[in-house]
Structure 1
């Protein structure tokens, strides 16, 4: 039997109250790869991410990390297992400095965090320049860098990003995607929801197109970009 992906939300069914938003939805990512979830508004993309991270109780299906069933674990316990989640909004402490934000990311750690802070500054040099500045004074793109940097402070094996390029300029988006590729090259698995479907599929090893909480298309990013149905319906031709 082929080995299972490093992280998988397998045949997930669930939602809020009595209403199911996800219907037998499967999302997975391999070690050190980038998996992207795209689809129209209201397709259940963010809900699928929350389900994988334990913020949504499943009525069916399971979540497994490195072969271990973590379906019943709380988000905090999943962080301890090596998962990090960056929500789309409210993802930084605006009144704290950049460096204080990074230090807050390491709250579970009992070892020396200086090396990890330096690694974040290498990845995002602008943050080193602004490390004493309140994070709330930064531009949208820089705030996203702080949010991703803070998540990396936990030394995760999986980094989950919900709309990391929302509201940033195309130049900043390209730069963020470049950094995300760099993070994946270190062996961290990246699972992200992205509105900019074409650009996201360009960097994706695996892509998931969701429609109404169901898997509509699943393939490599390259294959989805080349699929005429996907192009016509989701990528504007």
Structure 2
């Protein structure tokens, strides 16, 4: 059986250089999948390929069993995918609520109900809903970015380095909210530099090296592997 979102034997890159060299990444509905690995391993490139921002030279991407390899990012959003980049992921001059409203533009109904769910998920955003997003802390801006992505009511939520630059306390809270999102039935796929902490919450983990799958398994399985701990988790 094919996973809900699957990128199989993906080969692609920039110019004539292949960054992805046959890697496979999958995530099921209601689960968290995490991609870790050294800098330059192809983690973010893999996410872009899955979202249609990078054209593959080889391989296929499927969503709910449908081949979406040739679809644009916009078409993938219409199919239920949402992507949060690492940087420049909020409209800094707009208020928190305006950012969320922008995320809901594609929805014909139920926008206010969805926004209420986002405020339940991230209570601090309700407190600061009339404040410009650019005035928030790094962790709060990340909450806005995730919240805006969730306004599309996605089936797949893709996060590129969601805890970059935030404190350990904020990181733990973001991971808790990501677990909550997955438990609601959303397939969550994220690239994360905080590998040990991310694998602790991962139903599925992928260690990429030079665009290839070096290790894969559940988060706990990867944390128990001595080679993974020594090479990628600091011992």
In the alignment, is residue 141 of structure 1 matched against residue 139 of structure 2?
yes
User: What is the CA distance between 1:112 and its match in structure 2?
Assistant: 3.0
1:178-197 matches, within 5 Å, as 178-197=176-195
Partner of 1:55: 53
Q: 3-state SS of the aligned residue for 1:58?
A: coil
Output aligned runs, 1:48-197, within 5 Å. 48-197=46-195
Task: After TM superposition, list the pairs within 5 Å mapping 1:14-29 onto structure 2.
Answer: 14-29=12-27
Quote the Cα distance in structure 2 between the aligned partners of 1:99 and 1:75.
24
Match of 2:197 among 193, 196, 199: 199
The alpha carbon displacement at 1:108 in A equals 1.1
- Count of matched residue pairs: 235
Structure 2 SS opposite 1:168: coil
Using the alignment, how far apart are the partners of 2:216 and 2:181 within structure 1? Answer: 23
Q: Among residues 27, 41, 45, which one is paired with 2:43 in the alignment? A: 45
Counterpart-to-counterpart distance in 2, 1:212 and 1:79: 28
Offset of residue 48 of structure 1: 0.3
Whole-angstrom distance in 1 between the partners of 2:110 and 2:194: 37
Partner of 2:207: 209
Q: Return the TM-score normalized by structure 2.
A: 0.99
Please provide the CA RMSD for this pair.
0.4
Cα distance, 1:111 vs structure 2: 1.2
Q: Note the C-alpha offset of 1:107.
A: 1.5
5+ residue gaps, structure 1: none
User: Paired residue for 2:229?
Assistant: 231
What are the superposed Cα offsets for residues 112-133 of structure 1, whole Å, 9 maximum, x if unpaired? Answer: 3000000000000000000000
Q: Deviations over 1:158-185 (max 9, x none)?
A: 0000000000000000000000000000
**Structure 2 counterpart SS, 1:41:** coil
